[in-house]
């Protein structure tokens, strides 16, 4: 590997991807966004700062005037803006939300299931969430290599950082790394939590605040990062460590994995519009019709949140193909009040609530399109629960595509002010909620290259292995193998008396991730409780041991 010339940051988003870079040969160089060449229509190409995370499988007869240049497609799938637009034309042939599936352990990331529940694509033509993520990453790599070919700065020779939700567990992180390896990324590729990346970008940009005059100096000791994208709501809490030459930020808490974002808003609006369609009372929409409806609901959401006012009196027209008809052969139509839709989005997803509120968690969450979405759609209740045992919030950094809408940021800011008895947090300036993560990742890599650090953050959660049950109570005993706060490179050895491994047969190990407040040391024993631990995918192995002196061993003592 040649000495890297660039630090590259990649935001692998649920709805959009972005790529940024910093020239490591220039002192104090600022991050830049690499515009991504992609199809806009069958016959036109655009360059955009973001790459929509959509993949469209063309019909065999479809031809693009740009195909000779291999622009906008990878492995036979169209990618980016053109693919996103196909959600309104041929939604059953569009794969999306791959990132959400990587964190969904009820399905293997290697199972061919995208586009989800679609009859428009043959089973052997479908792709796995892992493959879809790898294709998105691979396309960004190809764009880089084309753009930097004359400079002989191959992507594989650069310092690459990919961002993931702070709430991604170790299995989801591993799947992301596997997707990167499959896409031909360098062995040195690293992962960075998205809220950290957004925070790094704020520091790179000069650490400015939104304009808000105060009569007295405001001493900042803590920062809350609220990152809401298309698929997840991610909260991180940072404490400022002073007394050094430069302040250092310590990441002290991250939220649980909350599958709640722009996709949920689309679904909620689609359900509301569905009840108004001019169809028979007992007529159910097909999967294909639902995809058309969700695409129109997404347009409605974007119209509502971009408007400065409630759109009083304005109506939004929706039309989808009728059952068994072509796109123009017949339609189901409805009109939806813009003011009502805006109220659903703001008051439904960001309602006022007390500081001691907890999300409503029924036994089973909403299962839409195969994904276990958050059972409570109120972002504010999840945020109140996250902040419950933390100190006061001095400043807030808003990030993510969903929070590009000023009305949503203001609602969250007002809510935090109420929770803190009128003490309003300052707002850290972020003018690029869709690009800050990629740019911050590039900046983080540049700091690493210079052996500098701005944020101290170890493992966000402890990891446990199940090692047996407690008596006849059938309560699982778990041993901590990776403590919360562990730094990359740390090694922990755990020895327990009587701990044995079955040999000459398949052995399965159930792993768990601890809740935010679990801080046991390596080797400590804990008892399973459903509110304190999250089940991870099974680990499997088989150890063969030959018989000694004619006696076959069933198990051997081990240490972890």
Q: Is the pLDDT of residue 466 over 50?
A: yes
Distance CA(303)–CA(337), nearest Å, equals 12
Percent of the chain past pLDDT 90, that is, above it, reads 52
List the structure tokens of 351: 């309602």
Grade residue 19 by pLDDT with cuts at 50, 70 and 90.
very high
Token reading at 28: 């104090």
Q: What is the pLDDT of residue 99?
A: 92
pLDDT in tens, 286-305: 878 888 898 899 999 988 88
Chain-centroid distance, C-alpha 314:
34
- What's the whole-number mean pLDDT along residues 337-362? 90
Nearest to 231 by CA among 536, 459, 12, 460: 12
The pLDDT score that the predictor gives to residue 216 is 36
Residue % of the chain over a pLDDT of 70: 91
Minimum mean pLDDT range among 282-296, 383-397, 490-504? 282-296
CA distances from 14 to 78, 91, 338, 423 (A): 17, 17, 26, 34
Q: How many CA atoms lie within 13 A of 68 on its CB side?
A: 2
What's the order of all strands across the beta sheet hosting 533-535?
A: 525-527, 475-482, 463-470, 511-514, 533-535
Measured CA to CA in angstroms, residue 453 lies from 54, 456, 457, 459 at distances of 35, 7, 10, 16
Nearest CA to 109 out of 57, 62, 168, 63 is that of: 168
Residue 470 has what pLDDT?
Answer: 65
- Pick from 469, 485, 470, 475: nearest CA to 522: 485
Answer yes or no: is pLDDT of 518 > 70. Answer: yes
pLDDT of 70 reads 64
Lowest mean pLDDT among 36-45, 203-212, 430-439, 448-457: 203-212
Bond before 131 cis per omega within 30 degrees: no
> Which residues are bridge partners to 500 per DSSP?
557
pLDDT value at residue 489? 82
Task: Tell me the pLDDT band of 343, cut-offs 50, 70 and 90.
Answer: very high
Backbone angles phi, psi at 473, to 5 degrees: -80, -10
Q: Which residue has the tokens 């639902």?
A: 290
Separation of alpha carbons 269 and 259, rounded Å: 17
Q: Residue 441 above 90 pLDDT?
A: yes
Distance CA 341, CA 266 (A): 11
Describe the strand order of the beta sheet including 77-79 as a list of residue ranges: 73-74, 77-79, 55-56, 94-95
Q: What is the mean pLDDT of residues 415-432?
A: 94
For the chain, give the longest Cα–Cα distance. 88
Confidence (pLDDT) at 45 = 92
Nearest Cα to Cα of residue 72 among 257, 190, 64: 64
- What phi and psi, each to the nearest 5 degrees, are found at residue 57? -95, 110
pLDDT of residue 11: 97
3-state secondary structure of 201: helix
pLDDT value for 364: 47
Enclosing H/E stretch for 45 = strand 44-48
What secondary structure letter does DSSP report for 551?
Answer: B
Q: Residue 48 phi/psi, 5° resolution?
A: -135, 155
- Pairing of the two strands 190-193 and 159-164: parallel
Task: State yes or no: pLDDT of 324 exceeds 70.
Answer: no
Average pLDDT, the chain: 87
Q: Mean pLDDT over residues 399-424, rounded?
A: 94
pLDDT at 444: 96
For residues 255 and 516, give the distance between their C-alpha atoms in angstroms, rounded to a whole number: 7
Between residues 106 and 550, the one the model is more confident about: 106
Give the residue ranges of DSSP H helices in 406-538: 406-419, 436-449
Residue 107, exposed/middle/buried by CB under 10 A (0-12, 13-18, 19+)?
A: middle
Alpha-helical regions (H) of 234-361? 262-274, 287-306, 338-349
Structure tokens at 129: 């969430």
H-type alpha helices, 205-286: 262-274
The candidate with the shortest Cα–Cα distance to 45, out of 82, 8, 16, is 82
Residue 225 CA neighbour count, 13 Å, CB half: 33
pLDDT exceeds 90 at position 468: no
Do the Cβ atoms of 228 and 349 come closer than 8 Å?
A: no
pLDDT tier, 64 (very low <50, low <70, confident <90, very high otherwise):
low
Query: What backbone phi and psi angles, to 5 degrees, belong to 169?
Result: -80, 180
Peptide bond into 87 cis (omega under 30): no
- pLDDT tens profile 173-222: 999 999 999 999 999 999 999 999 999 999 999 887 775 544 333 468 89
Residue with the bigger pLDDT between 513 and 2: it is: 513
Q: What counts of helices (H) and strands (E) characterise the chain?
A: 11, 31
Q: Give the separation between CA 507 and CA 292, rounded to whole angstroms.
A: 46
What's the whole-number mean pLDDT along residues 381-388? 95
Phi/psi at 335 (nearest 5 deg)?
A: -125, 135
Q: Which band of pLDDT confidence, cut at 50, 70 and 90, is reported for residue 269?
A: very high
First-to-last C-alpha distance (Å) of the chain: 34
Question: What pTM does this model have?
Answer: 0.87
* Choice among 151-165, 328-342, 378-392 with the minimum mean pLDDT: 328-342
Residues 6+ positions from 345 with CB-CB distance below 8 Å: 265, 268, 269, 301, 304, 305
């Amino acid at each position: 590997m040649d000495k890297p010339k660039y630090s590259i940051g990649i935001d692998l988003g649920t709805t959009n991807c972005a790529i940024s870079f910093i020239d490591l040969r220039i002192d104090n160089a600022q991050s830049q966004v690499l515009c991504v060449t992609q199809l806009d229509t069958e016959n036109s190409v655009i360059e955009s700062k973001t790459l929509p995370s959509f993949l469209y499988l063309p019909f065999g007869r479809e031809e693009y005037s740009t195909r000779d240049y291999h622009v906008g497609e990878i492995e036979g799938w169209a990618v980016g803006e053109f693919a996103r637009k196909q959600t309104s034309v041929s939604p059953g042939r569009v794969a999306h939300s791959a990132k959400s599936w990587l964190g969904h352990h009820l399905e293997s990331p290697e199972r061919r299931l995208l586009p989800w529940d679609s009859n428009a694509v043959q089973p052997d033509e479908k792709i796995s969430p892992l493959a879809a993520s790898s294709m998105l990453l691979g396309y960004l790599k190809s764009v880089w290599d084309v753009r930097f070919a004359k400079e002989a700065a191959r992507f594989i020779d650069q310092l690459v950082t990919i961002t993931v939700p702070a709430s991604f567990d170790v299995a989801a992180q591993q799947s992301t790394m596997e997707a990167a390896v499959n896409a031909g990324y360098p062995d040195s590729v690293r992962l960075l939590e998205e809220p950290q990346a957004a925070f790094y970008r704020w520091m790179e940009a000069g650490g400015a605040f939104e304009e808000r005059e105060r009569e007295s100096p405001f001493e900042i000791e803590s920062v809350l990062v609220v990152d809401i994208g298309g698929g997840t709501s991610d909260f991180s809490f940072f404490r400022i460590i002073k007394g050094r030459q430069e302040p250092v930020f310590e990441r002290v808490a991250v939220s649980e994995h909350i599958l709640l974002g722009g996709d949920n808003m689309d679904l909620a609006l689609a359900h509301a519009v569905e009840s108004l369609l001019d169809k028979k009372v007992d007529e159910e929409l097909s999967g294909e019709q639902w995809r058309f409806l969700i695409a129109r609901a997404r347009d409605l959401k974007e119209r509502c949140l971009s408007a400065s006012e409630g759109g009083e009196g304005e109506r939004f027209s929706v039309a989808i193909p009728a059952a068994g008809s072509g796109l123009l052969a017949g339609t189901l139509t409805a009109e939806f009040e813009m003011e009502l839709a805006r109220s659903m989005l703001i008051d439904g997803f960001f309602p006022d609530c007390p500081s001691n509120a907890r999300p409503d968690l029924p036994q089973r969450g909403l299962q839409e399109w195969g994904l276990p979405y958050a059972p409570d759609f109120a972002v504010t209740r999840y945020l109140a629960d996250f902040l419950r045992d933390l100190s006061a919030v001095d400043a807030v950094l808003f990030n993510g595509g969903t929070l590009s809408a000023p009305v949503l940021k203001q609602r969250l800011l007002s809510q935090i002010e109420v929770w803190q008895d009128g003490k309003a947090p300052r707002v850290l300036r972020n003018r690029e909620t869709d690009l800050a993560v990629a740019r911050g990742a590039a900046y983080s890599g540049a700091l690493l290259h210079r052996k500098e650090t701005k944020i101290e953050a170890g493992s966000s959660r402890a990891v446990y292995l199940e090692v047996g049950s407690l008596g006849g109570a059938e309560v699982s005993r778990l041993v901590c193998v990776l403590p919360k706060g562990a730094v990359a490179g740390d090694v922990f050895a755990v020895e327990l008396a009587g701990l044995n491994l079955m040999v000459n047969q398949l052995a399965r190990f159930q792993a768990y991730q601890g809740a935010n407040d679990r801080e046991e040391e390596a080797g400590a024993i804990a008892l399973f409780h459903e509110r304190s631990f999250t089940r991870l995918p099974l680990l499997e192995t088989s150890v063969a041991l030959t018989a000694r002196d004619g006696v076959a061993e069933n198990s051997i003592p081990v240490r972890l």
